[in-house]
Amino acid sequence: MQKGRIHNFNAGPAVLPEPVLRRAQEAVFNVDESGMGILEHSHRGKLFERVNAQAEEEARRLANIPDGYRVLFLQGGASLQFAMVPMNILSANATADYLVTGQWAEKAMKEAKKFGKVHVAATGEATNFSKLPAPEDIHYSASPAYVHVTTNNTIFGTQWAELPETPPGVPVVADTSSDMFSRPIDVARYGIIYAGAQKNLGPSGVVMVIIRDDLVERAPTSLATMLQYRTHAKEKSLYNTPPTFGIWLVGEVLKWVRELGGLTAMAERNAEKAKLVYDYLDQSEVFRGTADPSSRSQMNICFRGPTEDFEARFVAEAERRGFTGLKGHRSVGGMRASIYNACPRESVVALVDFMKDFERTNPAAT
C-alpha cells in the first residue's frame, strides 16, 4: 500500500487497486497520448469506442463468456436491474421465483411484484438471514419465468458457495453485485447476471449486465426505450451517453484482475484473506461472526462484539488507527469488513492484528 492511504473496508464504493488509481490519474489528464483526458472524450469517438470494446473483451476473457451472451454497461445501479429484469422478461400473468436471502434479494423480489406474480421459493427470514436455505427448504413454483438469486448477501455476510439447483430450462437471474468476478463463474448456467460496479469492478455509476441472446428481445416494445435490454444490446451500450470514465475504469480493473492470474487466482486470494479473519473470529472471546459457517461470505465478513458500547469503541478506535468502513450496515448494526478483490492482504492482516490487540486491551467484561 502506498504512503498516505488507509485500510479501506467500505462495502461499496470500495477500495480500488492502487495501480489502477495511478493510471486513472494520468488518464484523466491525457489518455493514451490523445491530448485529452478520458472524461473529455466523445462517446462517439474512436478512442472511446476502443475503451468500450476493450472493457467488454476483458470481461469476456476473464469469465469465458460464451458467444450467445451480450455484455452491457448500463446505469441506474443494481437497483434499476431489480425492475428492468421483470419489465423485460416477466409478463403480468407469469410467476417469477425469488430466493430471498437478504435485504437486497427482498428488494428485488418486491420490485418484481409490480410487474408480475412472485413466488418466494425460499426465505432466510427465520434465521435473520444468517444462513442460506438448504436444498430441502427451496420450493420452486410449477413453471417460473425465471429464478432470481443473490449470489452474495452484502448486508448479512452470506454467500452461495455454489449456485443452488434450479428447475431445468428456467433462466437463472443473478444479482452478483457484491461478488462479481471474485471467483470463477459458469456464465452458461445463467440467463442474466448483473452487478453494480462499485464493489469488485470499478466505480459507482456503471452496472455490468451479461444477458443471454434469447432474453434480450423479450421486452414489450411499448416499454420505455431506455428500459429495454434490446436497445442497449443493439447499440453496444452506446444508445445514449454512457458513463465513459466508469467504463474505462472497469476495463482497467478487469485488466488488473487478468494480470494477477484471473478469476481462479482471485478466488484463491479471496479465500485466503477471508480465512485469516474467520479463523481469528472463531477463537476470539469477544468477537463472533454472525453468519452461519456453512454460508459465510468471502467478501463481507459480519461480526459482533459483546455489547453495542464495545462495538462503538472498537469502530472509533479502528478509525483512529487508520481502518475505515468497519461499521455494519445501519439496519443490522455490529461490524462488517468488506474485503473485495482490491482489498490488499496487507489490510486484512493489519485488521486481524488490530482486533487481537483490541481484544487484549478490552476483555469481554469491560
With CB under 6 A as the contact rule, the residue among 159, 178, 228, 338 that binds ligand PMP is: 178
Residues in Cβ contact with 312 at an 8 Å cutoff, skipping those fewer than 6 apart: none
With CB under 6 A as the contact rule, the residue among 34, 54, 75, 79 that binds ligand PMP is: 79
- Based on the shown chain and the rule CB under 6 A, indicate whether residue 339 belongs to the binding site for ligand PMP: no
Identify whether the C-beta of residue 244 lies closer than 8 Å to the C-beta of residue 73: no
Q: How far is the CB of 365 from ligand PMP (least distance, A)?
A: 36
> CA 17 to CA 32: how far, in whole Å?
20
- Based on the shown chain and the rule CB under 6 A, indicate whether residue 177 belongs to the binding site for ligand PMP: yes
Residue 175 bears catalytic tag: yes
* Site track for ligand PMP across 111-150, x = CB under 6 A: ---------------------------------------x
Q: How far is the CB of 213 from ligand PMP (least distance, A)?
A: 25
Q: How many chain residues interact with ligand PMP (CB under 6 A)? A: 11
Q: Interface with ligand PMP by CB under 6 A: which range of 61-69, 76-84, 129-137, 233-241?
A: 76-84
Q: Output the CA torsion sign for 152, 331, 12, 271.
A: negative
Q: How far is the CB of 15 from ligand PMP (least distance, A)?
A: 15
Q: Interface with ligand PMP by CB under 6 A: which range of 36-44, 75-83, 235-243, 281-289?
A: 75-83
With CB under 6 A as the contact rule, the residue among 196, 242, 289, 344 that binds ligand PMP is: 196
Assign 3-class secondary structure to the chain: CCCCCCEECCCCCCCCCHHHHHHHHHHHHCHHHCCCCHHHCCCCCHHHHHHHHHHHHHHHHHHCCCCCEEEEEECCHHHHHHHHHHHHHCCCCCEEEEEECCHHHHHHHHHHCCCCEEEEEEECHHHCCCCCCCHHHCCCCCCCCCEEEECEECCCCEECCCCCCCCCCCCEEEECCCCCCCCCCCHHHCCEEEEECCCCCCCCCCEEEEEEHHHHCCCCCCCCHHHCHHHHHHCCCCCCCCCHHHHHHHHHHHHHHHHCCHHHHHHHHHHHHHHHHHHHHHHCCCCEECCCHHHECCCEEEEECCCHHHHHHHHHHHHHCCEECCECCCCCCCEEEECCCCCCHHHHHHHHHHHHHHHHHCCCCC
Judged by beta carbon, residue 10 or residue 347, the one nearer ligand PMP is 10
Q: How far is the CB of 91 from ligand PMP (least distance, A)?
A: 24
* Site track for ligand PMP across 146-175, x = CB under 6 A: ----x---x--------------------x
Q: Which of residues 279-338 bind ligand PMP (CB under 6 A)?
A: none
Residue 199 bears catalytic tag: yes
Judged by beta carbon, residue 31 or residue 108, the one nearer ligand PMP is 108
With CB under 6 A as the contact rule, the residue among 7, 12, 16, 84 that binds ligand PMP is: 12
Judged by beta carbon, residue 157 or residue 191, the one nearer ligand PMP is 157
Which amino acid makes up residue 284?
S
Q: How far is the CB of 152 from ligand PMP (least distance, A)?
A: 6
Of 97, 160, 175, 255, which is the active-site residue? 175
**Residue whose C-alpha cell is 421459493:** 121
Judged by beta carbon, residue 154 or residue 244, the one nearer ligand PMP is 154
> CA 27 to CA 308: how far, in whole Å?
45
What is the number of the residue whose Cβ is closest to ligand PMP? 77
- Based on the shown chain and the rule CB under 6 A, indicate whether residue 77 belongs to the binding site for ligand PMP: yes
Judged by beta carbon, residue 123 or residue 284, the one nearer ligand PMP is 123
Residue 104 bears catalytic tag: yes
Q: Interface with ligand PMP by CB under 6 A: which range of 72-80, 183-191, 253-261, 272-280?
A: 72-80
> CA 165 to CA 156: how far, in whole Å?
22
Residues in Cβ contact with 179 at an 8 Å cutoff, skipping those fewer than 6 apart: 151, 152, 159, 200, 297, 298, 299
Judged by beta carbon, residue 151 or residue 166, the one nearer ligand PMP is 151
Q: Which residues bind ligand PMP (CB under 6 A)?
A: 12, 77-79, 104, 150, 154, 175, 177-178, 196
Residues taking part in catalysis: 104, 175, 199
